[in-house]
Amino acid sequence: MVRLHVNVDHVATVRQARRERFPCPIEWALGCESAGADGITCHLRKDRRHIQDADVRELRSRIRTLLNLECSLDSEMVALALESGAEAFCLVPETRQEITTEGGLDVRGERARLAQVLPLFAERGGVVSLFIDADREQLAAAADSGAPFVELHTGRYAIARGDERQRELERLQAAASFARSRGLRVNAGHGLDYDNVAPIARLEGVEELNIGYAIVAHALFVGVDAAVAQMRAAIAKATRNSKSSGGIP
């Protein structure tokens, strides 16, 4: 089954709104693990708007599954990531004004910095993915960079409707196929929720989905156990249906 990594950033967003000690993203992450999450994702931003440095350290020391740390190519953030103890890293673009990550990393434009930092992560044994749009030129550049994974940005698909959504889904499938043909492994995420996750989970070759906001929001009504379990069930149903239909989205 496609793996589910739960992003805990927005639990920290609620905490930071009041600069309180609660709700605790680490305790929430432990609840996600107990409910069946395959891993935990968090994004340490330069402006520390949600996850804090201490959160990353405590997550790594307390969770039992894999910790996937999202960070930018900023030198400070790379240094912190290298010292974090995380097993996986997703390199993302980042601007101060954005509400959430908008668009994929410009791999072609960042060739020089990637050539510097990717060996550093490899030396620490970290598995790196590049968060990029479903763009063939960017995917080719990602393959040339030596990164083992890409995470396809599903934001445009998530906000699209009707025929436009189908077109975005086809773009993502083509991107996943091209990435695999170039030796890349494929994850996906951004904007996925209970209503739109199934077609993405059915995309051939996608190994892992990173989902946060939708699960955190749903948990306000049903609790963390049910929110995670229901997302896992949606992914499992989609992948079962994909196998029975020959993998057609």
172-176 average pLDDT score: 98
d(CA 152, CA 170): 13
In the DSSP assignment, the letter for residue 109 is T
Concatenating the DSSP letter of every residue in 145-169 gives: HT-SEEEEE-HHHHH--HHHHHHHH
Average pLDDT value for residue range 6-25: 97
Tokens of 223: 């609790």
Position 248 confidence tier, pLDDT thresholds 50, 70, 90: very low
Domains: count for the chain: 1
* Residue 122 within a domain: yes
Q: Is 218 a catalytic residue?
A: no
Q: Of residues 5, 10, 43, 218, which has the active-site annotation?
A: 43
pLDDT in tens, 98-119: 555 567 999 999 999 999 999 9
Domain range holding 161?
Answer: 3-244
CB 97: neighbour CB atoms within 10 A?
A: 5
Helix (H) or strand (E) holding 26: helix 25-34
190 among known catalytic residues: yes
Q: Which of 5, 50, 70, 110 is catalytic?
A: 70
% of the chain surpassing 70 pLDDT: 94
Residue 240, pLDDT score: 82
3-12, 99-108, 136-145, 182-191: least confidently modelled range: 99-108
The mean of the pLDDT values for the chain is 94
Distance CA 241, CA 60 (A): 35
pLDDT of residue 193: 98
Catalytic residue selected from 5, 50, 153, 190: 190
Q: Mind listing the pLDDT tens digit for each residue in 188-221?
A: 999 999 999 999 999 999 999 999 999 999 999 9
Q: What tokens does 234 get? A: 């949606």
Report if residue 87 sits inside a domain: yes
Whole-number pLDDT of residue 100: 54
Residue 249 domain-assigned (yes or no): no
Q: The domain spanning residue 202 has which CATH number?
A: 3.20.20.70
pLDDT for res 153: 97
Q: Is 10 a catalytic residue?
A: no
What pLDDT, on a 0 to 100 scale, did the predictor assign at position 243? Answer: 58
For residues 32 and 66, what is the distance between their CA atoms, to the nearest angstrom? 12
Give the pLDDT confidence score for residue 97 in this predicted structure: 58
Cβ atoms of 33 and 10 within 8 Å: the answer is: no
For residue 121, pLDDT beyond 60 = yes
Place of tokens 């004004």: 97
